[in-house]
Structure 1
């Protein structure tokens, strides 16, 4: 009852604040980044205390050892200190100090550093893209609560865990069950960037003394950069060796694909939102990079998102048509929207699709719903796109299917 009372009191406080600031969108206070904002390792090089001592964050009472080596990821760094302490620096966002079990929290920490005390074994996971990475390092057991119901998961082990009651549904990211988070002893909430659209929810969770970690893997420009976030989660779980072995396997797949000869065929990757706008990816996103590695060209050469840091860009149908009408292939992204099963499904969204070259020539494809959750096997999508571009065997594809 005391736990429930605390939740209700917090809700009342938040409602009062909301009414007092009606019409003003407030969020969590921006944290000053006192780190260098740069990776402490050279490109492809190793790092140690003697070489990089001046570039790493200084934490009073801790002795720096090394920096995690990253091959593709650019959105984070992990710094290692003696006695098992680790600092995760998510660039342009927050820093998190991982404190080993039964160890003391260092005194006089910078105010922007969020403390994560191990073991982290009661996680609320609202970022669906992270589940496959926890699965890859045998750490699904650390996830106690999900922001997605069992029917929404396409990861076998996640479904099994929810059906067995090992993972319970705790409400979606925008409407979490605060009582459940408290009653279960939640020690970390892992959110996608969608939480930035509901800052009050993030504030409520943090007011319950539950740290919030925002997964920004979708901002990576290389497809394997997104997968390399497995190393970040491995740092939380002390599973670095497993992550290194797993990631080496994924890197090998990419290496086998890198010699694909570019066909110079153009590809548009998109979906149509409920308001009729067409949502594509900016040119520096990992999806266009996948298309390039697979042997194609993304139809938008220099597209940026001038509104935010998001990789998604909203275009009017006319803007999309002006660039994509002559694309050789259309790939409909159903990981966000519902899949299309026919050309009629596509043209029902807008009759203008009838004028697209790819529609006239029968080169329309669609992704499976589970694409966004499959952060662990990005090489498969690259292989699929290559098969599409070269009239390969559709039965060998993992994510794509032909739309007639």
Structure 2
């Protein structure tokens, strides 16, 4: 794979995780608010968002299989280019179909980006420390991602409130910054991420061979899920989690817009709100790593996911903008608490030959579930109210805890493995 030490690989992993997620902070809730400002209804917004999930569903496993067969670095480079194109598409979109195209491009990006960086890091560590758990690196990643997203969101809100270009919407400047930072991430990936090149020097031959291997890798990944009850349960968790996530990613900005009476005002509020949410996500991620050490990864993951769903219910019950933002902050902190333990559980079930594929299986289920859940919640919101849809989403999300039962049974009898991150950070 590489010649990097675990400590050096960890630095690259955390740096690229930060540059990857910092731009996202600038557009938290902004794409949704731009669509509403340009005349789309709640149902149209929740429907066009499904284009992203559909593209991920179609491409997630083939692209992750290609990453396992061809290499992580090429996929991440292509992903960076597509991400830039998606940001530009959102800037110029005005109709439902143009927003659907932008969402579809973002789905292609998510499919390409899902798994390769994390798989690259874990496999690099396992070259030196086979089988070592990596949840502490995932916890550190969550802290930095939260800081990056929160910082980006805070600046984004300030840019919307500042509105220096009176001739255009105040919501557009954060998207322009998003595109610029995506270019920075692409350059960082090209410079920092190292991967041992294949012995075949002919690019065309490498691609052809990798495409031929991809169906085999995908087939083996699917076969592993059908034969591994623990992995099947972990993958299914995403189906329930994405329903709750829809409430605080898609419905929350719309609800805030209703309470404040303006999409632009909501955009200015979303910056500080998202910044606070991701700051608390960082705290939750740090606590989640420690909770996994103390109580076990399964218990930490279950507790985080249950409380996260209840937080979504509280968001739906909030009667004013301040209460809504407060519930949003708590919900995001709990989102961070579950993530390190959940990622660690997935890595226990994967190997170097299928790690990117296994990681992508969870993302595939999440995106496919979102493609179904988001428009249904949009219909529910249109026929009842956005708060009702949020309460239903949170309640359904909590049911996913039962999917952790096979992992819990296994953890009770599993010996404790070594954790190498303490050495890496010493």
TM-score scaled by structure 1?
Answer: 0.25
From the two aligned structures, give the one with the greater helix fraction: 2
Report 1 or 2 for greater relative contact order, CA contacts < 8 Å, sequence distance ≥ 6.
2
From the two aligned structures, give the one with the greater strand fraction: 1
Structure possessing the higher radius of gyration over alpha carbons:
1
